Amino acid sequence: MKDVKTQLMQLADLMQAERSNMLRYACYRLGDPEEAADVLQDVYISVHTQIYNDDSVKILNLKSYLFRSLSNHCIDRLQNRSKRIVLSIDTVHDIADVSEEYSEADYVRVTKMLALLPEEQAEVIRLRIYGGKSFVDIAAILALPLSTVKSRFIYGLNKLRKYMNEESTVSHIKHLQP
Amino acid sequence: MTCKVFNEKIADLFDVNVNAQDKAEFERHMEQCSECRTAYEELCAVYAMLQPSAKTQHELDEISTNVTFAKSPTKKRKIWWAVAASVIFLLGVFVGLNNFFTSSATAASQNSIALFDKAITYVQNVGSFQMEVFVRTNPEENFFDIHPDKDFIKSRVQLMRQADTVLYRIEREVEHGRVIVCDGKAQYMFVKNGTRYVKGNLGSDFLGMYGNLLYPDRLLQMQKFAIELAGDNTVLRSETDSTIVVVVEGTEWDDNLQEIYATGHRGRNHVTIENVFSKPDGLLRSVKYWLHKDGNKILVLYTGAIQYNPALSRKAITALPDEYSHPATEGGVYDMTKVSEIEDEELAQLQKESPVQTAARLLAAFTSGRAEDVKENLAGYVGNIDKINKRMKGCKFRELRELKVEDYVGVYIVYTLEYPDGATSQMHLALRNDNPRHVWLLDGGL
Ligand SMILES: [Zn+2]
């Protein structure tokens, strides 16, 4: 059993080292950089609390664990969003006041685009491209065989390619591309 | 290398590090095999399209490293968010984090711990209670945030236990305030004067920090731990003829991300919580919560007298808000507990649609009087099918375009509606796809 203080220091070091990968992952997951920064804090707090409260907890690979926790926190956020905002629509906005010009940031587009894929494929793509993780790392994070991770990645990319080529989704893709 | 092997291993070309020898083998194969080369190039095109833009990367770099970022308006939002999070004391994380100062409890605080224990047991077993809560926040906001610069907003909190179920009601006593009701099976959030409501399951986080006011035993438990575990938190205990007052003053963790990154440690906030217990029963009667900020001690939350076992009825707790205009049908419900039943294939088709495509399909159905054909997209409006058909049948629609509205999670599709008599008007549909199935659902505009 590792000393709690040592683990907490390792956690702080890891957060420091992985912050830009984690931030990018969360940003492309949530489509919002500010919220991504908030999520990083949530992860830090929750893992910190976990280590402190239960020092027998076996976090074998803290690095994998951080990303797993990050992914879970993002899912929570996405689910909570609908709960918090729903009631605003009929009262708050007057369409006439809203400018037509709206340029979408690429993370918003990507978030929508990856939403077209089965979540298991989207997750591998996010971890690889935005989380900066290798396939071996991703296999550890998701507790999956390496070959599965790789094939999900390729399936996902291929599926996106297909969407792009399909005539029926032309307007959709127009929407997705810069 | 064969085509088969190529296809099996092609992912390796997209790994973080690519083995040079492997790469050479792939390239040799692609020189001879145009099919595999095309496949690879297409993957590369998608891969390239997914890469973060320089602008985004720059933005993220700023967030993660630039300390002067604090001056931007977003940071301001964050400060208040941070203050809300500083009420983490109420949320229960504070204590567990306050580990660097662990020391054994003093004899003085032992007395208070016994008092907390008793009050905790009582609250956990009480049949019902109610209290008024005053929090500095925005009147029309949800139950998550505290804003020390705002006025106090009064809410009424009521809870009763019936057999194994817990019923509760939290009501903001302001115009357009929100009301949360739990009937033991589901939670509902209403807006007074509104016509729509949100329904969620018991696990939905409607309550925010009010969750711990609803279960005061949690609040006490946390303070108990704070006294037991953190030696730098002070406990003051005073008595009158009828009350025992325990004031816990201490540090809690600040929420400044920059500092966490820079030092690996979190900063602290200074808070004070006053608990008033009655004598001789030892019941918690009221709570006050202060935030110490820039040399000021700001009262941000207090409760009126907590009443135990008042006569509450199921009917009163689960009643619709007075000013709430209940829609004639179920059309006003946004039911998060319902999972629509859609076949996988059909679902895949729906997911592929752009919001404009979805809107076009919906409008085509509405104007031909067949709204029932698109019920999987109607969400809360599924109860309004007849009304929709009646109103829109025979109309024509055109000029659909998408409009992103700030602060709204979905999109608006604006369109021109032409009535059978030739009159036209500018209309919109609100659609959102932040549901587990990523399907565009009708969320307003009709
Ligand atoms: Zn080949």
Q: Quick one: pLDDT at residue B98? A: 31
Backbone angles phi, psi at B402, to 5 degrees: -90, 140
Q: Quick one: pLDDT at residue B34? A: 92
Per-residue pLDDT of chain A in tens (178 residues, 90 and over written 9)? 457 777 777 887 888 888 889 999 999 999 888 888 888 877 887 787 777 766 545 667 888 888 999 999 998 888 776 544 333 333 322 222 233 333 467 888 888 888 888 899 999 999 999 999 999 999 999 988 999 999 999 999 999 888 877 633 443 333 333 3
The residue of chain B nearest to residue A174, with distances taken between CA atoms, is: B354
- Beta strands B424-432 and B441-444: pairing type? antiparallel
C-beta of residue A67 within 8 angstroms of C-beta of residue A13: no
Q: From the list B53, B200, B409, which residue is nearest A106 (CB)?
A: B53
C-beta of residue B440 within 8 angstroms of C-beta of residue B376: no
Query: pTM here?
Result: 0.41
Q: What is the ipTM of this complex?
A: 0.82
Which domains occur in chain B, in start order? 3-50 (no CATH), 81-308 (2.50.20.10), 339-444 (3.10.450.50)
B79 bridge partner residues: none
Contact across the interface for A41 and B257, Cβ inside 8 Å: yes
Q: In angstroms, what is the span from residue B36 Cα to ligand 1's centroid?
A: 4
Q: Residues of A with CB below 8 A from B204's CB?
A: 83
The fold of the A2-83 domain, in CATH, is Rna Polymerase Sigma Factor; Chain: A (1.10.1740)
In CATH, what class is A105-174?
A: mainly alpha
- Distance of residue A2 Cα from the nearest chain B Cα, in angstroms: 16
Task: Tell me the count of A-B CB pairs closer than 8 A.
Answer: 191
Q: In angstroms, what is the span from residue B51 Cα to ligand 1's centroid?
A: 26
Tell which residue, B327, B256, B247, B245, has the closest CA to residue B282.
B245
Amino acid at A69: S
Mapped to the 3 state alphabet, what secondary structure does B117-130 carry?
A: HHHHHHHHHCCEEE
Report residue B58 as tokens: 């720059």
Only one residue has tokens 């807006």, namely B191
Q: Residues of B with CB below 8 A from A153's CB?
A: 11, 14
Element at B176 (helix H, strand E): none
Residue partners of A120: CB distance under 8 A and separation at least 6 = A152
Backbone angles phi, psi at B167, to 5 degrees: -110, 140
- Distance of residue B51 Cα from the nearest chain A Cα, in angstroms: 7
- 3-state DSSP assignment of residue B287: strand
Measured CA distances, B267 to A37, A147, B43 (Å): 17, 44, 46
Domain boundaries, chain A: 2-83, 105-174
List per-block mean pLDDT (blocks of 10 residues) for chain B, which spans 446 residues.
Answer: 92 90 91 92 88 85 54 26 32 30 47 76 79 83 69 88 81 82 82 68 65 67 62 73 82 44 51 82 84 82 87 83 54 44 63 88 92 80 80 89 71 87 84 75 77
Tell which residue, A88, A1, A164, has the closest CA to residue B432.
A88
Q: Quick one: pLDDT at residue B315? A: 82
Q: Residues of B with CB below 8 A from A16's CB?
A: 261, 264
Report residue B146 as tokens: 């505290």
Residue partners of B15: CB distance under 8 A and separation at least 6 = A128, A134, A135
Amino acid at B194: G
Contact across the interface for A130 and B191, Cβ inside 8 Å: no
Q: In what order do the strands lie in the sheet with B411-418?
A: B396-403, B411-418, B424-432, B441-444
Q: Quick one: pLDDT at residue A52? A: 72
Contact across the interface for B407 and A168, Cβ inside 8 Å: no
Element at B273 (helix H, strand E): strand B268-278
The whole-angstrom distance between residue A155's C-alpha and the CA centroid of its chain comes to 19
Q: Quick one: pLDDT at residue B161? A: 82
User: Alpha-carbon distance B292 to B271, whole Å?
Assistant: 6
Contact across the interface for B56 and A27, Cβ inside 8 Å: yes
Residue B269: exposure state from Cβ atoms within 10 A (0-12, 13-18, ≥19): buried
Q: Which of A78, A89, A102 to mutate to test the interface with B (most CBs of B within 10 A)?
A: A89
Condensed to tens digits (0 to 9), the pLDDT of residues A91-126 reads 322 222 233 333 467 888 888 888 888 899 999 999
Q: Quick one: pLDDT at residue B4? A: 93
Query: What Rg do the C-alpha atoms of chain B give, in angstroms?
Result: 29
Contact across the interface for B142 and A158, Cβ inside 8 Å: no
